[in-house]
Amino acid sequence: MLVLLRHGQASANAAGLLLGRTDAPLTETGRRQAATLAPLLGAVTRLVSSPLVRARDSAAALGLDLEIEVDDRWIEIDYGTLEGAPLGSVPGEEWRRWRADPTHRPAGGETLVEVGTRVRAACEDLFATEGAGARDPAGDVVVVSHVSPIKAAVAWALGAGDALSWRLHLSTGSLTRIGWAADGPVLHTYNALPVPPVL
């Protein structure tokens, strides 16, 4: 099973800012969210993380006795000049262009298609049955990442296009599972939260 965890709440999330590549730290709520995910995990053979501190710290908070492998392909989308902007300040025309066209690039940033391309490659590597990075049937691979890459992985699993991202909501501190089916990936769980949710 490929288990995708969205990092816990970061300071910029709490402030309602567009958070991409900024290395914002976890809040105390974010640390609790990450730790609360640990009991939802089964046997884990690999722990992979985005290079950003909020993902690496969330991975560490799981308390697994595994090396955290950093994979740059799981980094959040680059929002370019929109990075750090309050969500409500992004012009409506920018949102409309972005939602209508997955190849739309915010000034200085990254397109949804580019995110999808790098995440699909990462998923294919994790699903490999042979080679150095071949999956271990004895347990799951856990990847701690961000909203855009996890949505891209779900689109990959469903055989959908990158525009699917706009039709999915993904909470901080949530869990998504993609199974290792014989004929391709299968989405088992999306946006699961511990019960009761950590506020």
How do residues 96-121 score in pLDDT, each as one tens digit? 999 999 999 999 999 999 999 999 99
Of the pLDDT bands very low, low, confident and very high (cuts 50, 70, 90), residue 181 is confident
Write out the two tokens for 103. 């190849």
Whole-angstrom distance, CA of residue 116 vs CA of residue 102: 10
> CA 153 to CA 117: how far, in whole Å?
10
Distance CA 50, CA 91 (A): 29
Is residue 198 in a domain? Answer: no
What is the predicted pLDDT for the residue at 34? 95
| Angle in degrees, CA 188, 194, 195, rounded to 5 | 115
Residue 18 lies in a domain: yes
Tokens of 52: 């950003």
Domain of 126, in residue numbers: 2-192
Quickly tell me which residue has 């049937």 as its tokens. 137
Residues noted as catalytic? 7, 76
Note the pLDDT tens digit of each residue in 22-44. Answer: 999 999 999 999 999 999 999 99
**Total domains, the chain:** 1
Q: Per residue in 45-90, pLDDT tens? A: 999 999 999 999 999 999 999 999 999 999 999 999 999 999 999 9
pLDDT attached to residue 186: 95
pLDDT, tens only, 113-148 = 999 999 999 999 998 876 666 677 788 999 999 999
For 57, counting Cβ atoms within 10 Å of its Cβ (0-12 exposed, 13-18 middle, 19+ buried), the class is buried
Confidence class for position 182, pLDDT limits 50, 70, 90: confident
Evaluate if residue 199 carries a pLDDT over 70. Answer: no
d(CA 175, CA 156): 17
Start-end of H helices in the chain = 11-14, 28-37, 53-61, 92-100, 112-127, 147-158
Structural domain contains residue 199: no
Does 181 map to a domain?
Answer: yes
Residue 120, domain CATH? 3.40.50.1240
What type of residue sits at position 118? R
Assess if residue 28 is contained within a domain: yes
The pLDDT assigned to 134 comes to 64
- pLDDT value, residue 128: 84
Residue 160 counted as domain residue: yes
Q: What is the pLDDT of residue 198?
A: 55
- What pLDDT is stored for residue 197 in this prediction? 55
Flag whether 13 is in a domain: yes
